[in-house]
Structure 1
Amino acid sequence: MRMQLIIPHFWMQGTADEAIAFYTEAFAAIGKHSEVTHRSTYPTEGLLDFQRPMAGKTLAATLTIDGFDLGLINAGAEFRPTPCLNIMVTMDPAVMEDAPAAVDRLWAALVEGGEVRMELGAYPFSQRYGWVEDRFGINWQLILTDPEGEPRPFLMPSLLFGPDSRGARQAVDHYLSFFPEARLGRRELYPDNEDLVLFSDFQLGGQWLTAMDSSFPLPFDFTPGSSLMVCASTQEDIDYYWEHLSTVPEAERCGWCQDAFGLSWQVTPAAAELANLGPEQYQALMGMTKIDLAALRR
C-alpha cells in the first residue's frame, strides 16, 4: 500500500483525544473503520513555557479513516481550523450501500454542536449535499455523487479561496508544476466570471484534492490552524518541497512554511519518525525553520 504523500492537519485546542473518539464513532455509523496509526506525546522536559501544561499529553496523532490519513495537532488556543481547508466526503452509490442514508447519518453526527455552512439538501450539482463545521472546528462537505461519473476517493482535502486572493486556478497550476504524479481532473468556471473556479479537482502524488473560489468575500482565510503535511523522507525531498512552497520567511518554523496563496504546509519526515524524538531532539526541532534531518537523527 502506497504512503499518503499529503496529509491534512488540523489544530485542536487540547481536544485531540476527544476528537479521535468522536470521529471514530461518527464514521463507524456509516460502516467506515477508523484507527489511530501514529501518536506522539509531548516530552516531560525541554518544553517552552507555553507548552508545559501539555507535558506528557498527546502532541499529535494520525487518525486513519477508511485508509485516509488525517492529522490532529494537540496544542492551545493559538490557532483554530478555518473552512479554507476542509474535507470533502464523497458518498458514491456505486460503491456504498444506501449512500443517501449514509450522508444523513454522518451529517447528523457532525452537525451536533457544530455550525451549518450550507444546509443539507438538493442542489444543481448533487441530490444530497451539505457543508458543516463540526464541534472541533473542522469543516466537512458531504456530497452524494453521480454513480455514473468518474469515481473519486471517499475523503479528499479541499481548498477554498476568497475572491481577493490569488485563487484556485493559480494555486492548483502552481502545485501541478512541481509535485510528482500530478494532473488536473475537472475544472469548471463560474458562468458569469471565468476568472473564478466554481470547482476543480486534481492529483498531487497520485492523490486527489479539490479546490474552488468563493464568489463573495469571506470572513476567514488560511491560517496555520489548517495545514497540509508533505511527507519527505530525505533531506533532498525536504529541500525540494521547501523551495517550491515557502514564500513567507517569518512563517518558517519547525518544518512549517506558508506558500504564495496563504496555505500553511508542513514539510517533514513521516509521523512515525517524529513520534520517536527524544527531549534533546525535540528541543532541536523547536529551533529549526526548515528541518535538518541529520540534526534530528543524531
Structure 2
Amino acid sequence: MKNNAKMMTSLLLMGSLITPQLHAQTAPTPPLNAPDAAAEAPVPPIELRAGRGHRGGYPGGQFRDSRHSSDRREELGDSQGPRGPREPRGPRERGALTALTTLTGTVGELKGNDDFILDGFLLKTAAGSTTLVKFPAHLGQSIQQAVKSGNSVSISGISETGLDGESIFRMTSLTAGKTTILDAPPTPPTTPPAAPSAATVTGKIADYQLDRAGRVNGFTLTASGDAKTIIRIPADVAYQLTNLATKGSTITVQGYPKILREGQVQLEKVNILRPTILTINGQQYLIR
C-alpha cells in the first residue's frame, strides 16, 4: 500500500509539470491566408520637420521620412501669438524684486514683429539717444490710439537685452497726457473666436525671410490678384526647404491664415499663412 501511494504521488507531480508545457505548445497559430498588417499599412507622406539638436535643421538639409524617424514632433502653434524667437530677458532671479526706471521723450517710428503686428516704437530722449520700447502685442490698438509720432510720453519699465544684443526697454506703463496704459493681461473675449478656415494658394517664391537671429523663418509668395502673402514656417524646416525650392520656384501651399487677436494692430496689410502641406514639383510635403 505504501508503494502504491508513493507511485500515485509521483504521477501527480509529473502531471503538474507536463500540463503547462502542453498548454504552451498548443498556442493558436494564425491562419495561413491572414493578411500582413505591416504590408497593408498606408505609406505616410514625406514630412518636413524641425530637427532636435540641430540649430539649422538636419545636416545637409536632408528630408526625413516619418516611417524612419523617432524624433518628437514639433507642432506649429500660434502662441503665437506668433511663434517666433523671443528676446532673452535680462539677468533676473525668479521671485526677486526688480527696480523700475522711467524714461521720458518723444515717440518715433512704430515697430512691429515678424508678422508686422505692432509691439513697439522708438523713443527719442531729451539727451538725444534712441531707445526701442517694447510692449505686448495686445496693447497695440490702445497705444496706437493714445500716441502719435512726435508726442511726448513718460514710460516706466525695465531695461533688457534683445536677441541681437540690442538694448530694449520693456514697458510696464505708459502715460501720454491724461491717458495711462498699463501692461495688463488681455481681456478674455466674450465669445470664442471662430476657427480659421483652411486656405490654398499657389505662387512663386519671391524671397526668403530672416528672423531676428538671422535664420530663415518663412518666404514671400507672389500670387496673381492677392495681397502680399508670407508663408511662415519653422526655421529648421525652412533650412531644408531652401535646398529644394529656390527663389522663383512655383509652390502650392495649404494651411491656415493668421487671425489678429483682440487689441492687435497690423502695421502693413500682409496675409500670414501657416502651412500644413507644401506641394513642390508634384511632391507633397507634410509640415510638422
Instruction: Note whether the superposition's TM-score is higher than 0.5.
Output: no
Q: Per the shorter chain, which TM-score range?
A: under 0.3
Q: If you compute each CA radius of gyration, which structure gives the higher value, 1 or 2?
A: 2
Using the size of structure 2 for normalisation, the TM-score is 0.22
Task: Report the TM-score, using the length of structure 1 for normalisation.
Answer: 0.21
